[in-house]
Amino acid sequence: MENGRILIVYDNRTTSDDLTPGWGFSALIELRERRILFDTGADGQTLMANMGRLKAVPSMIDTVFLSHSHGDHTGGIEEVLAAGGQLEVYLGHSFSDRLKTAVRGAGAKLHEVTRANHLFGTVYTTGELGLGLKEQSLIIDTEKGLVVITGCAHPGIVTIAKAATEQLSRPIDLLFGGFHLGGISRGKVRSIITSLQELGVSRAGPCHCTGGSAIALFEEVYKESFVSVGVGTTIKF
């Protein structure tokens, strides 16, 4: 199993006044042999500024993983592509031809994802899930269980968690990212949390589009197993 860390570089909230919040999400995943940027936030300048303050070097990134096509997750892609490095970009087949052309035009190697698959090392994709807007989530297989990262969880956070556990036949140690629960009733959120616990999700770190009240309920239920996420958060595994 690989050891590594995840550094949040774009989110609605921050851990410090020196960092800039913004509606969107991006996380830098540092493994022994790969540096993966999961999504790129909504604004490239904000993304690069945060990375600079966190001493995360953009040119060291070798892989970009885009969860879905919404602008708050792809807005910084041009700046990332321009930062240099031999990039490999994994995005869904459902993405626009315009974005695919931009990726190829920047000299990056494009991988179009459709179904659940092994990408490299201990890293996997759930494949594109959802009946409407398609979205893929990233899975890292670690000693303690799976780390599953979601962009906005448009297909449903329980659907994603279930797909990941079934794909690798292992429980989830940490599930984090946008859970898309803003405006959802407290009772429904509690039911979702119960379903995740029944699936064996040990720790949860909801952020971005999850909604403040839903995040608070996750913290209430998960207690010491709740992971607070914002720009500057570091998660080791």
For the domain spanning 5-236, the CATH number is: 3.60.15.10
Q: Is 11 buried (19+), middle (13-18) or exposed (0-12) by CB count in 10 A?
A: buried
Pairwise CA distance, residues 163 & 185, whole Å: 24
What confidence tens digit (pLDDT) does each residue in 20-57 have?
A: 999 999 999 999 889 999 999 999 999 999 999 999 99
User: Which is nearest to 222 in space by CA: 157, 183, 169, 176?
Assistant: 176
- Each domain of the chain, given as residue ranges in start order, spans 5-236
Residue 123, beta-bridge partner list: 120, 140
Give the CA count within 13 Å in the CB-facing half-sphere of 141.
18
Alpha-helix runs per DSSP H in the chain = 44-53, 71-74, 77-82, 97-105, 157-168, 186-198, 212-222
Mean predicted confidence (pLDDT) in 175-179: 98
Cβ–Cβ under 8 Å, residues 164 and 126: yes
pLDDT for the residue 31 = 95
Whether the predicted pLDDT of 106 surpasses 80: yes
For 51, the 3-state DSSP assignment is helix
Percent of the chain with pLDDT over 90: 95
Pairwise CA distance, residues 49 & 190, whole Å: 37
Whether the predicted pLDDT of 2 surpasses 70: no
**CA 96 to chain centroid:** 20
pLDDT for the residue 1 = 42
Pairing of strands 35-38, 5-10: unpaired
pLDDT for the residue 225 = 98
